[in-house]
């Protein structure tokens, strides 16, 4: 479903050049859930942003659904892949109501039965129609993240890129959002790529994961290996030790 081959991302140029991601390659099968872990600055979010076309400077190949993407994404790309951002307090427009946020997304993707779809999206993420005309400041962190997930689901994508979807939330709310994501994946047959610094969250949600350090993927393993604490790379072992 998603294939990265030799992806490199850099910022700046000349003396100030920073290589944020270096030769990252992995593939995610359709319907699978793939995790990326690492400390801050290791380039895990940058990979997601590069896939979504939010970063101009990258090289290598990104193919989605078997087709390599161009530097400039086509509109049809965003019908396949959508992203949920880390901070629900920053990713919703403070002066747009939930209805506007979802309605605009649906309009831009050329849906006609917007009214009906907004209600359906809100039901899907467990909020219900009574939240339709609220503004972000009238919602709690968990409710906001649900709206952000509804917005990502609006174009009916097959891949969701999740950038630390629960790191700004309390543990009790985190459990609700993770359960919601699990349900949605089963219901819509979604493919997930999830970035997190929390190994236990990735262990709960994903089947395979990549460990990143300094812009490089140092190890790709499945969750069974993680559970049995049998990581082979010293950095992954260190991460494991720090999070148990």
Binding site for other proteins (CB under 8 A): 39-40, 141, 170-176, 178-179, 182, 197-201, 203-205, 223, 226-227, 238-239, 242-244
Distance, in Å, from the CA atom of 162 to the CA atom of 13, rounded to the nearest integer, reads 29
Q: Which residue, 65 or 176, has its beta carbon nearer to other proteins?
A: 176
d(CA 24, CA 156): 28
Q: What contacts 84, CB < 8 A, 6 or more positions away?
A: 145, 148, 149, 152, 160, 161, 162, 163, 165
Question: Judged by CB, which is closer to other proteins: 40, or 112?
Answer: 40
Nearer Cβ to other proteins, position 23 or 243?
243
Q: Which two tokens stand for residue 145?
A: 């993240």
- Report, in Å, the least distance between residue 112 CB and other proteins: 36
CB of 99 to other proteins, least distance (A): 26
Give the C-alpha separation, 114 to 103, whole Å.
Answer: 6
Q: What is the C-alpha separation between 83 and 52, in angstroms, rounded?
A: 8
**Beta strands of 75-223 (E only): which ranges?**
81-84, 159-163, 191-196, 208-213, 216-222
Tell the smallest beta-carbon distance from residue 140 to other proteins (Å). 9
To other proteins, the closest distance from the beta carbon of 119 in angstroms equals 24
Q: Which is nearer to other proteins, 70 or 170 (CB)?
A: 170
In three state form, how does the secondary structure of 46-65 look? HHHHHHCCCCCCEEEEEEEC
Three-class secondary structure of residue 242 per DSSP? helix
Whichever of 39 and 70 has its CB closer to other proteins, that residue is: 39
Minimal distance in Å, beta carbon 212 to other proteins? 12
Query: How far apart, in whole angstroms, are the C-alpha atoms of residue 27 and residue 60?
Result: 14
Name which of 55 and 173 has its Cβ closer to other proteins.
173
Quote the least distance from Cβ 109 to other proteins, whole Å. Answer: 31
CA distance 130 to 94: 18
């Amino acid at each position: 479903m998603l294939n990265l081959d030799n992806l490199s991302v850099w910022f700046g140029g000349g003396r100030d050049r920073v290589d944020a991601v270096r030769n990252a390659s992995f593939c995610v099968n359709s319907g699978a859930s793939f995790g990326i872990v690492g400390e801050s600055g290791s380039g895990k979010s940058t990979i997601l942003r590069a896939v979504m076309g939010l970063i101009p400077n990258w090289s290598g190949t990104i193919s989605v659904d078997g087709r390599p993407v161009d530097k400039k994404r086509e509109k049809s790309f965003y019908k396949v892949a959508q992203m949920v951002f880390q901070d629900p307090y920053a990713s919703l427009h403070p002066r747009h109501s939930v209805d506007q946020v979802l309605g605009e997304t649906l309009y831009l993707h050329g849906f006609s039965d917007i009214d009906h779809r907004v209600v359906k999206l809100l039901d899907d993420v467990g909020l219900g129609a009574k939240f339709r005309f609220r503004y972000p400041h009238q919602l709690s962190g968990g409710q906001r993240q649900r709206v952000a997930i509804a917005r990502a689901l609006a174009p009916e994508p097959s891949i969701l890129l999740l950038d630390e979807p629960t790191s700004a939330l309390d543990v009790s709310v985190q459990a609700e959002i993770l359960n919601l994501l699990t349900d949605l994946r089963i219901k819509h047959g979604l493919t997930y790529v999830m970035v997190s610094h929390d190994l236990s969250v990735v262990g709960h949600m994903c089947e395979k994961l990549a460990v990143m350090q300094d812009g490089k993927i140092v190890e790709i393993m499945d969750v069974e290996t993680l559970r049995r604490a049998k990581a082979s790379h010293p950095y992954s072992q260190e991460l494991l030790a720090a999070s148990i």
